[in-house]
Amino acid sequence: MKHFNWLILLVALAFVGCNDDDTTSDQPVDDLGPLQAAVDNNLSWTWMGSDEMRSRNGTSTGYLVNLNSNSDKLVVYLQGGGACFNPLTCAGNRDAYTNNEGINGANVLNDGFFPLLNRANTSLFISDWNWIFVPYSTGDLHSGTNSDGDVPFNGPQDQRMEGSANMNKIVADLQQYTDSFSEIIVTGSSAGGYGVYLTFPKFAEAYPNASMTGLSDAGPIFTTDSAADNCLGESWESLFQFDYPSDYNTVVTGNYDYAYQGAYEYLSKKYPQHEFGLMSDYKDEVLRFFYGFDANNCDENTVQVSAEELDLATREIQNTLQNFDNWKVFFKDSDAHTFLGDRFSAESINGRVVIDWIEDLTQGNAVDLME
């Protein structure tokens, strides 16, 4: 595998704080709500532990905030880390993110370990924005509502796959802090990239006057059978119990094998004034591994999808998204996974570097870039 620097970040954020403490830290609360602690720590990362947010194992969790009191713009980043739908995938997916880990995670971020959200990286157009970093410990692509999930094939039982409720808490905290952002980017990588699709509407409804961009990094939803059949989609739908917007089935009129495949259409039609982007690699080895579970009814035996199959399926996404004017793609001919770690300032297509393409996207000026 290439580009493991990004995986180092996931490990650093996930496993710091070995002496776990599941008690929730007390946050000062006044008219700014729970985010008062982050206000007092302006321009630095602050851990916001909450008894209203749950990890997959039922313990409390939270999120990380870095506010700039002089900015009315916001980036929301959803962490990746696999998904939990059989014993093997659950074993590789975090089931908790405790307060000690959150506090130490803030220190890691304050040390500049994640270049995309580093105040010292002043060349980035988002360097002076407000930032939210959402750790991933629900196993449900940040989008589930299942409070008592039993993973099949003798996987973990009684799982709290409630990523959607966690996101609702974050939105509520932000609304208590401010009722207005001029611009919002909702993005994430890998599992976090899949989380973008159903998280975006929450922020769009909470801040209807904001100019918004939804960007999925390495979270492609395949709309044909080239790389996957219905097994994975059905498994995710039934186990995670995705939290679809109430008008989802009305807005989505296309014919899909499972509801989640309609996300491109829903976002484009529901929010024609906003911009959406998908970044992916044609031969992504991580996606080839996960979509390989379709070969054995989604049990813990995976037969890796071939590079040719994934390439074809990704190119078919291009054809699908051409039907929606406010969707743009950045597709590399590579087997790497994710762009927002060590690749966002280095990878380019036709001379356009990833981060510059993202800025183009936010301004409505991006074009499809494909190798």
Total number of domains in the chain? 1
pLDDT at res. 32: 86
For residues 234 and 94, which has the higher predicted lDDT (pLDDT)? Answer: 94
pLDDT at res. 230: 65
pLDDT more than 90, % of the chain: 83
Determine the structural domain holding residue 31 and report its residue range: 5-370
How far apart (Å, rounded) are the C-alpha atoms in residues 66 and 166? 18
* Range 283-296 average pLDDT: 91
Q: Is 257 helix (H, G, I), strand (E, B) or coil?
A: coil
pLDDT more than 70, % of the chain: 90
Question: CA angle at residue 140 from 49 to 267, to 5 degrees?
Answer: 100
Q: Taking 90 as the threshold, does the pLDDT of residue 129 lie above it?
A: yes
Sign of the torsion angle spanned by Cα atoms 135, 139, 141, 146: negative
As given in the structure block, the two tokens for residue 128 are 């002076």
How far apart (Å, rounded) are the C-alpha atoms in residues 329 and 286? 19
Q: Taking 90 as the threshold, does the pLDDT of residue 26 lie above it?
A: no
Pairing of strands 146-149, 159-161: antiparallel
How far apart (Å, rounded) are the C-alpha atoms in residues 67 and 65? 6
pLDDT at res. 25: 38
The pLDDT tens digits for 136-160 are: 999 999 999 999 999 999 999 999 9
Mean per-residue pLDDT of the chain:
91
* CATH number of domain containing 360: 3.40.50.1820
Query: Of the spans 119-123, 133-137, 253-257, which averages the highest pLDDT?
Result: 133-137
The pLDDT tens digits for 42-63 are: 999 999 999 999 999 999 999 9
Q: Which residues of 40-59 are buried (b: 16+ CB within 10 A; e: fewer)?
A: ebeeebbbbbbeebbbbbeb
Question: CA angle at residue 184 from 7 to 284, to 5 degrees?
Answer: 30
Provide the pLDDT confidence category of residue 244 given band limits of 50, 70 and 90.
very high
